[in-house]
Amino acid sequence: MPRIVRDADVSWEGNLARGTGAITAASSGAFEALGYSLPTRIAAPEGKTSPEELLAAAHGGCFTMSLAGELTGAGTPPGRLDVHCRITMDEIEGRGHLIVHSALDVHARVAGLDDAGLAQAVDAAHAGCSFSSLLRDAGVETEITTTLEGGD
């Protein structure tokens, strides 16, 4: 399979404290000129996205697809997966601001699957998701909780 390339564009005007930026999904056009700023990144978002929120969407999307792939490969394709991802950034003394944690809360509705089968698929999905791998490489802890909701 050929390499897959995705681009995003950002414009930023001004200094950090008072400046503002705009984020565009350049490859797909799925979103355009989403505004962001320092206050809305570190305090209340007030309707604005942030790098960490985009990472939450990326990790949620990556893990969910990996889990769908693992469940499909095991002969139990999911009826429905609901995944909530929470990314935490914190200031660590001597190291500045870091992404410190990703929490994935998975609700799976899968016919013919038991808790052990879900746990196995979740482990394989976390091992295989490209973004989970990067977080692991960077020493960012991922915490995964699961609820199996039975067949559909």
The answer for residues whose C-beta is within 8 angstroms of residue 70's C-beta and 6 or more apart is: 121, 122, 124, 125, 128
Q: Work out whether 87 is an interface residue with other proteins (CB under 8 A).
A: yes
Q: Does 133 bind other proteins (CB under 8 A)?
A: yes
Q: Which one of 39, 74, 91, 111 is in contact with other proteins (CB under 8 A)?
A: 91
Q: Identify which of residues 79 and 146 has a Cβ nearer to other proteins in the complex.
A: 79
Taking the CA atoms of 73, 75, 79 and 81 in sequence, report the sign of the dihedral they define.
Answer: negative
Q: Is residue 90 near other proteins by the rule CB under 8 A? A: yes
Q: Does 80 bind other proteins (CB under 8 A)?
A: yes
Residue span 110-129 as binding mask against other proteins, x where in contact by CB under 8 A, dash where not = --------------------
Least distance to other proteins from the beta carbon of 103, Å? 9
Interacting positions 20-79 with other proteins (CB under 8 A): 21, 23-31, 34-36, 38, 40-42, 45-62, 64-65, 67-69, 72, 77-79
User: Do 81 and 106 meet the contact criterion of CB atoms below 8 Å apart?
Assistant: yes
- SS in 3 state form for 38-81? HHHHHCCCCCCCCHHHHHHHHHHHHHHHHHHHHHHHCCCCCCEE
Instruction: Select from 85, 53, 81 the least CA-distant residue to 65.
Output: 81
Minimum CB distance to other proteins, residue 109 (Å):
9
